[in-house]
Amino acid sequence: MLLTRGLILGLGAAALMSAQEPSKKQLTARELFYAATQAPAKPVDTAKPPVKTETSKAAPKTVANAPRPNRTPAKPVEIARADQKQEPPSTPDGTGKVTPAVQTAPMPVNGQPPLGLRINVMRYNSDGSTVDVLPDTVFHSGDRIRLSVEPNANGFLYIATQGASGTWKAMFPSPDIEEGDNRAEAMHPYVMPPGKRVFTFDATAGKEALFVVFSRQPVTDFEDLIYSLKGGKTVSQPTPQVRSDKTLIMAANIGDSTISRMRQSYARDLIVEAVNPSTPASAPGLKQETAVYVVNPTGSVDSRVVADIQLVHQ
């Protein structure tokens, strides 16, 4: 009897201690994006000096002029889309609106920083100035825009666009930009198209699709289509390596099955947050802005972030 009572008391104490343990702080995608720049990370072996990471916003850089840097499985959260609308849904009786729940996740348990992208569209005004808008904005004939993609870590960036035929073509890397090198630097916006060029919507209404992939490691699905490797394929490395043996070949098109496979494989761990100037700052130092944040909170060495961008014009 004493043994049984002691066991019950022990279990009760354990349950009480467990209940008193504080849960890990849940962060939004935007908070995770910037928290990654402050989290300690293991050194990355690269052939170039490490790039100093800044938490402040750097001046936008076009891809053409950007400097070159060099799973523990997680519980699925939600497939993220960069064009995901943030309109609050109606209540069941249709009499009002309710605020949608914000997607959140804790910092990675392994101590590594989460991987993320900040995406926004810059729309040109008639006087040549620009205003930031969300990707789900409805554009019209004659509208001129540029796309800004900003990673929060060093890695490898891929951007593909879908034509009217349904096939995809690589926009980045490009043979005209850094000799086809697709390494991206942390906390620098990469603006597409580069230089002074812009996207201009014509009179034909429809949708323009872009697919963005950012990864700590080269993505084999894209690498095999975009590059030829001298001496055959290299063995996957635990950290990003400078691949001087890569020759840009740029496939004429990329099958929709390839994009679908990457979307299904890489999107399941992501959380997404769209913010605008009316979005309250959930943490000190977060400014008013218009942008979409897509983050992989797993902290794994092979983390990837994908974003579907649908630009609608009427």
Two structure tokens written together for 189: 């916006």
Two structure tokens written together for 141: 């004939």
State pLDDT tens for residues 44-59: 443 444 444 444 444 4
pLDDT band for 174, please (50, 70, 90 cuts): confident
Is 60 exceeded by the pLDDT of residue 14? no
Give the pLDDT confidence score for residue 39 in this predicted structure: 58
Q: What is the mean pLDDT of the chain?
A: 76
Percentage of the chain beyond pLDDT 90 is 42
Q: Which of 53-57, 177-181, 186-190, 234-238 is most confident?
A: 186-190
pLDDT band for 245, please (50, 70, 90 cuts): low
Give the pLDDT confidence score for residue 113 in this predicted structure: 93
Is 90 exceeded by the pLDDT of residue 127? yes
Distance CA 190, CA 195 (A): 11
Nearest Cα to 297, choosing from 92, 115, 100, 39?
115
Is 60 exceeded by the pLDDT of residue 101? yes
Mean pLDDT, range 174-202, rounded to an integer: 87
Exposure string (b/e) for 136-157, b if CB count within 10 Å is 16 or more?
beebeeebbbbbbbbbbbbbbb
Q: Parallel, antiparallel, or unpaired: how do β-strands 183-184 and 130-133 relate?
A: unpaired
Q: Report whether 119 contacts 270 (CB < 8 A).
A: no
Two structure tokens written together for 200: 């201009």
pLDDT band for 23, please (50, 70, 90 cuts): low
Is 70 exceeded by the pLDDT of residue 173? yes
